[in-house]
């Protein structure tokens, strides 16, 4: 699937929005429990994630492919989520096999970023190891490969 997405985009240096509608032979997803204030650190929140596997299911994969150089503000690489047609099953997709479907890719050359101005955000300080925490929470390189 990654090669199809790459072929449909003019450059790997652009952000790519991806949508695949179709039949998935198999898909593994994970979700984390709902979080409440005060929010736990990212790695702690990800510890309680549930993994689910679905077979022969119709649905949609949607997400982004972000260039490595944007790793400071987004998860670099392929980052997809799955939702079944009935909108009852899904999550962060980290392993899948598409048996039939339609792939749509849109590219973006701009990335507007608006930051919150709430007192909580303005007073917060991300830990020095925030990039490492994102990598651990995302499970390394399992972004749908």
pLDDT at 90 over 90: yes
Give CA separation, 12 vs 29, 73, 92, 121, in Å. Answer: 25, 17, 22, 32
Q: Which domains does the chain have, with CATH numbers?
A: 2-137 (3.30.1330.80)
The model's pLDDT over 30-77, given as tens digits with 9 standing for 90+, comes to 998 888 888 888 788 888 789 999 999 999 999 999 998 887 788 888
Half-sphere exposure of 85 (CA within 13 A, CB side): 8
Distance CA 101, CA 58 (A): 9
- pTM comes to 0.77
The model's pLDDT over 93-139, given as tens digits with 9 standing for 90+, comes to 989 999 999 999 999 998 888 989 999 889 987 766 766 777 777 76
């Amino acid at each position: 699937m990654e090669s199809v997405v790459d072929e449909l985009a003019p450059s790997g240096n652009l952000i790519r929005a991806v949508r695949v509608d179709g039949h998935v032979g198999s898909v593994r997803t994970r979700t984390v429990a709902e979080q409440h204030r005060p929010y736990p650190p990212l790695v702690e929140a990800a510890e309680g994630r549930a993994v689910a596997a679905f077979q022969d299911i119709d649905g949609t994969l949607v997400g982004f492919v972000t260039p490595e150089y944007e790793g400071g503000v987004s998860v670099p690489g392929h980052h997809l989520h799955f939702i079944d047609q009935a909108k009852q099953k899904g999550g962060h997709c980290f392993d899948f096999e598409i048996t039939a479907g339609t792939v749509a890719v849109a590219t973006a050359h701009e990335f507007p970023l608006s930051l919150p101005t709430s007192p909580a955000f303005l007073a917060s300080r991300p830990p020095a190891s925030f990039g490492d925490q994102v990598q651990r929470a995302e499970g390394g390189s399992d972004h749908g490969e």
